[in-house]
A and B are shown apart, each in its own frame.
Chain A
């Protein structure tokens, strides 16, 4: 099984452990992730604030390259890249003149046949059914699954999970034996791109998230976005200052959590790279159990 893969800048830089853990679980499950040849920046937050055509063309070129490489499905772990890709695809497929114009700019023909998946969609479609046979350890911790803003929004375009109370990660963690708590900040903003330019805002927004997770007794926050991760992990000093108390709750990518349960070496999952040390121990051997969760339907109105 072969799927396309777009790492983007964060997975090659600040979020290397995300990349490492995605690759590690894909390998374990028997899926080959093929990077788009000669990929470029997705434009991230900067391009769509400055120049509309540029913001469409940067992702469009990547998508066209992926098609040229014969890929039909593309896994995009970074939530921001994922958002840009899906939005561009949506916009181009609903606006013919714009589509033509962007093809002209990138000098390629993007047909729009790609399916774009974020990591939780990838897990939902390709990994979750293989868990029972591969999992070695029970992830017997209380966890707060944090989705942030981009993974499940806007529903009109993504048609995946439910915007206000998403469940996909919760279901995966429950399957792994975790106690995924019901909490208040699942989809609240972490401060995203303001990590560098407006750190106080991040301290406040991410502070509320960490505080609520800790208050409800979570032992780890589970994420699937490099920005969420760096805000909750790297900015912990500022967060603790804002909250006026020290916190040691680790922030773990969902792929790392799955990797731990699959029995992959913690180093290979990059768990040592975090600012807030991950000291999760005492995992018990996995015993399969039936969990009573209903798969979330696409709840929004068309």
Chain B
């Protein structure tokens, strides 16, 4: 005989303000098989849990229904309490009367009735629960880091230094990400390359790290501890094992007028190129869309000048398969380009540039060797306007959020500008100065007080060109919303930070969720900031939302810590809520007919053929067998099984019908 206990939680007022909890408890007490029913203010609290534990012992309960929040929230808590009371932890069910009831309905009889029905369903279900044992799976102690920006670099180094193997996959020909393009960094103004390059080299030299550049993720299968990943290593047309990075090919390449991505179009590069001098690895790639040989079948000058004979025109993309136990997503961000702004000329004015382009102009290794010269005619701009929040915090542009880094880098730009153009004047249009962070506010004060940046609080409605000047029209909201017009020589738009190209496709390949702006979502905004909602996949840096370097690095170390914890165990415990094929005593063996329709529908390749043999070793039957290590409990096989021989443990057909029955016959 089942003896079920029902525990109705008030969740403070979250449930009790809408649902009459004592009444639900009273009604539930009369359900057949219920031996005990009560309600309590916070069931998840210590006294609440003790209440559950004691009730199980005292009333000799065989199963419990905790009627509270979503199982995503506290199922583990109450399974533990259930076990402490002496029951199998899977004899516990959650009846969700918060998300599914009190939060979405008004107070009233109907709402109470719905709560009662939900409890009734779960009581009928738990009566049919079986005791289940957790599944153990091995852990592959190798981590995959996707993206080699500062976040990916930090994560890879930390994991490698913890003694684990790391595979890093970077889309570009070099690691480094956006940080390698920056000139100096706020709030200390230390040179970006100088602090980043040593770490890049460390990645290349660490024996625990295997680096694949010019590579992308092709597919990801498996689950925490046991992912199988295919990496597409794009053809560089260069044999990396032979190339010694001498640079002859890039110098001699006659096709030199291709827009330089690293300089954001403000310079040219040859068709065979290394993105920047400090690139890691220092190995060139041929851009097949630009190379004369690939286009016309003639040239091959690089091949002729290459001493180690490393050029390979016939090289093809390579697919590399690796097994990893955890994945760190560090694919970073991008910024809107100036052509996103019709009011600022749709990108048609050469001297309206974005923040990254300014970084390149200010960088000693940039196209102007660090002198601030405007792109149109190379003049030094004497009046420069910075527009903060270009696109950010603007619902009309579809970007409601604050891009967070722009206030700081705009202040930095104003400072750098003043350091380089002493008689120049910088104006900054802003909405608010958001400079929260250690030494951040002091930094923006420095821009204003020491470097005389003139901050104008207001937005820029339009920029147009007239007689070689850029007329910036804005409002000064601190001066009675007066119109301000500035005749500028150059304008820098601090354009919104947005999700990186390809973020959505990558998220879909990895089954991690992302928000409406295509930034990857963390599992919990406060308590699980570096986890995704897919176990074993973590995220760090600006792929989650615009972040500055310290934040990206901190998150990356967080991820490394998480992965090191995961790798501290050689086995993982998994929920036993997986599919099982019926097994019986001979001569039946199973109701499975061996049709194997289930095999092709399984997304996880978890269904195998099991041969049943008699004592003499003769094959009697072939039956479906589900590999517990691979099955994710999705239930697709259950739906296609004609003989109804497959069930999901914890969600058997019997349990499901009992729930439906309880609802219909209430």
Which of A's residues lie within 8 Å of B, judged by CB? Answer: 162-165, 183-184, 188, 212, 215, 299-302
Residues B342 and A301 in contact, CB atoms below 8 Å apart: no
Distance in Å: Cβ of A172 to nearest Cβ of chain B: 20
On chain A, the residues within 8 Å of B471 by CB distance are 184
User: Given the complex of chains A and B, what is the CA–CA distance between A299 and B346 in angstroms?
Assistant: 11
Contact assessment for B342 and A299 in the assembled complex, using a CB-CB cutoff below 8 Å: yes
Cα A188 to Cα B471 in complex, Å, equals 14
Whether the pair A165, B398 counts as a contact (CB closer than 8 A) is no
Question: Which one of A163, A212, A302 contacts B342 once the chains associate, using CB atoms below 8 Å?
Answer: A163
Closest to A300 in B: B396
Would you give the shortest CB distance from A33 to chain B, in whole angstroms? Answer: 33
CB distance from A207 to the nearest CB of B (A): 14
- Selected from B342, B398, B465, B466, the residue in CB contact (under 8 A) with A164 is B342
Provide the bound-state CA to CA distance between A222 and B398, in Å. 32
What are 7 A-B contacts defined by CB distance under 8 Å? A162-B342, A163-B342, A164-B462, A165-B343, A183-B464, A184-B471, A299-B342
Asked whether, in the complex, the Cβ of A164 is within 8 Å of the Cβ of B343, the reply is yes
B397 within 8 A of A: yes
Candidate in A163, A164, A212, A299 with the most chain B CB atoms within 10 angstroms: A164
Assembly CA distance A188 to B343 (angstroms): 11
Which chain B residues lie closer than 8 Å to A163 at the CB level?
A: 342
In the complex, chain A residues whose CB is within 8 Å of the CB of B462: 164, 184, 188
CA distance A163 to B343 in the complex (A): 9
Q: Tell me, in angstroms, the Cα distance from A290 to B41 when the chains sit together.
A: 76
Report the minimum CB–CB distance from A111 to chain B (whole Å): 31
Q: For the complex, what is the distance from the CA of A300 to the CA of B340, rounded to whole Å?
A: 10
A301 engages B397 (CB within 8 Å): yes
Q: Are B466 and A165 in contact (CB under 8 A)?
A: no
Judging by beta carbons under 8 Å apart, are A184 and B466 in contact? yes
Closest chain A residue to B346, Cβ basis: A165
User: Which residue of B has the minimal Cβ distance to A182?
Assistant: B348
What CA separation (Å) do A300 and B397 show in the bound complex? 7
**Which of B342, B396, B398, B464 is in CB contact (< 8 Å) with A184?**
B464
Give complex CA distance A183, B466 in Å.
Answer: 9
- Give the size range of B's interface with the partner: 10 to 19
User: B460-498: contact bitstring with A at CB < 8 Å (1 yes, 0 no)?
Assistant: 001011100001000000000000000000000000000
Interface of B is mostly: mixed
Can you name the residue of chain A whose Cβ is closest to the Cβ of B342?
Answer: A164
Q: A164-B343, A165-B346, A184-B471 are in contact. Are A301 and B398 (CB under 8 A)?
A: yes
In the assembled complex, which residues on chain B have CB atoms less than 8 Å from the CB atom of A188? 462
Q: How far is the CA of A82 from the CA of B346 in the complex (A)?
A: 28
B residues near A299, Cβ cutoff 8 Å: 342
Report yes or no: A301 in contact with B466, Cβ–Cβ below 8 A.
no
Report the minimal beta-carbon distance from A147 to chain B, rounded to whole angstroms: 13
**Nearest CB on B from A159, distance (A):** 14
A residues in contact with B342, CB < 8 Å: 162-165, 299
CA A299 to CA B471, docked complex, whole Å = 24
CA distance A162 to B397 in the complex (A): 13
A146–B178 alpha-carbon span in the complex (Å)? 42
The minimal Cβ–Cβ distance linking A12 to chain B, given in whole angstroms, is 35
Chain B residues, Cβ within 8 Å of A165: 342-343, 346
- Minimum CB–CB distance from B339 to chain A (whole Å) comes to 11
Q: How far is the CA of A188 from the CA of B346 in the complex (A)?
A: 17
- Contacting pair B396 A301 (CB below 8 A): yes
Q: Kindly report which residue of chain B lies nearest to residue A296, judged by CB atoms.
A: B342
Tell me the chain B residues, 430-482 only, with Cβ under 8 Å from chain A: 462, 464-466, 471
Nearest A residue to B344, CB-CB: A164
Q: How far is the CA of A206 from the CA of B380 in the complex (A)?
A: 35
Whether the Cβ atoms of B466 and A215 lie closer than 8 Å is yes
Set of chain A residues within 8 Å of B396, measured between Cβ atoms: 300-301
Q: Which residue of A183, A184, A188, A302 has the most chain B CB atoms within 10 A of its CB atom? A: A184
CB distance from B60 to the nearest CB of A (A): 58
Bound Cα distance from A183 to B471, whole angstroms: 12
- Residues of chain A lying within 8 A (CB to CB) of residue B343: 164-165
Which residues of B, 332-358, contact A by the 8 Å Cβ criterion? 342-343, 346
Q: How far is the CA of A300 from the CA of B398 in the complex (A)?
A: 9
**For A212, what are the chain B residues with a Cβ–Cβ distance below 8 Å?**
466
B472, chain A: closest CB distance, angstroms: 11
Q: How distant is the Cα of A163 from the Cα of B397 in the complex, in angstroms?
A: 12
Given contacts A165-B342, A183-B464, 17 further A-B contacts (CB under 8 A): A162-B342, A163-B342, A164-B342, A164-B343, A164-B462, A165-B343, A184-B462, A184-B464, A184-B465, A188-B462, A212-B466, A215-B466, A299-B342, A300-B396, A301-B396, A301-B397, A302-B398
Which B-chain residue is minimally distant from A165 (CB atoms)? B342
By beta carbon, the residue of chain A nearest B398 is A301
Shortest beta-carbon contacts, A-B, top 5 = A301-B398, A184-B464, A164-B342, A164-B343, A165-B342
Residues of chain A contacted by B466 (CB below 8 angstroms): 184, 212, 215
Residue in B closest to A155 when the chains form the complex, CB atoms: B396
- Please name the residue on chain B nearest to A302 by beta carbon: B398
Closest Cβ of chain A to B556, distance in Å, is 32
Expressed in whole angstroms, the Cα–Cα distance for A302 and B466 within the complex equals: 33
Shortest CB-to-CB span from B343 to chain A, Å, is 4
Least Cβ–Cβ distance between B393 and chain A, in angstroms: 14
Q: Which residues of B contact A300 (CB under 8 A)?
A: 396
